[in-house]
């Protein structure tokens, strides 16, 4: 292992860790308010956490396959999927704004969004 190898390895690790840090700080917000289900990049369903009082199951049947999403008061998860790898099910609950569960074989994205207003506050 040469010095350049070490430099490349440390450089890659640093880039990854720094961007991970940046994503965690700036991209993921506090608890979200909506759950959005997208198939093939198109909006499939949208739920507001305020309207959900007890855990609710949603069944999603598309031409790619079958998925079952469970939505709790402030979080969501994939309960069932007919995809081969089951990674979306293993991911568990998501609750922060901009967090998402992706089921690649079924082209399905479940994500949590924050407030609908794009701007938090404006100062003059």
Partner 1 sequence: MKGTYKKVYIAMLIAIGLVLHIIESFIPIPISLPGTKLGLANIASLLTVAIYGPMTAFAVSTVRAVLGGLLAGGVVSIPYSLNGAIFSTVVMWLALKYLSPHVSLIGVSILGAGAHNFAQICTASIILQNVGIFTYLPVLLIIGTVTGYFIGLTGNYTIKTLSINVDKYRKDGGNF
Is residue 45 part of the contact set for partner 1 (CB under 8 A)? no
13 touching partner 1, by CB under 8 A: yes
54 binds partner 1 (CB under 8 A): no
Q: Does 8 bind partner 1 (CB under 8 A)?
A: yes
Using the rule CB under 8 A, is 97 a contact of partner 1? no
Location of structure tokens 């450089």: 11
109-118 in b/e form (b: 16+ CB < 10 A) is bbbbbbeeee
CB 11 within 8 A of CB 79: no
Q: How many CA atoms lie less than 13 Å away from 86 in the CB half-sphere? A: 3
The phi and psi torsions of 17 (rounded to 5 degrees) equal: -65, -40
List the one residue from 29, 33, 38, 72 that touches partner 1 (CB under 8 A).
38
- What residue ranges bind partner 1 (CB under 8 A)? 1-5, 8-9, 12-13, 15-17, 19-20, 23, 27, 38, 40-42, 84-85, 87-88, 90-91, 98, 100, 102, 104-105, 107, 109, 111
């Amino acid at each position: 292992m040469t010095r350049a190898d070490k430099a490349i390895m440390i450089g890659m690790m640093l880039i990854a860790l720094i961007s991970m840090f940046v994503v965690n700080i700036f991209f993921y917000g506090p608890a979200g308010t909506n759950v959005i289900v997208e198939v093939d990049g198109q909006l499939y369903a949208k739920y507001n956490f305020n309207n959900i009082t007890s855990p609710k199951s949603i069944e999603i049947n598309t031409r790619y396959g079958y998925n079952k999403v469970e939505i709790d008061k402030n979080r969501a998860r994939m309960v069932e999927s007919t995809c081969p790898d089951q990674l979306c099910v293993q991911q568990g609950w998501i609750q922060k704004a901009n967090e998402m569960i992706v089921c690649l074989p079924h082209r399905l994205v479940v994500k949590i969004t924050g407030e609908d207003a794009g701007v938090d506050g404006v100062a003059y």
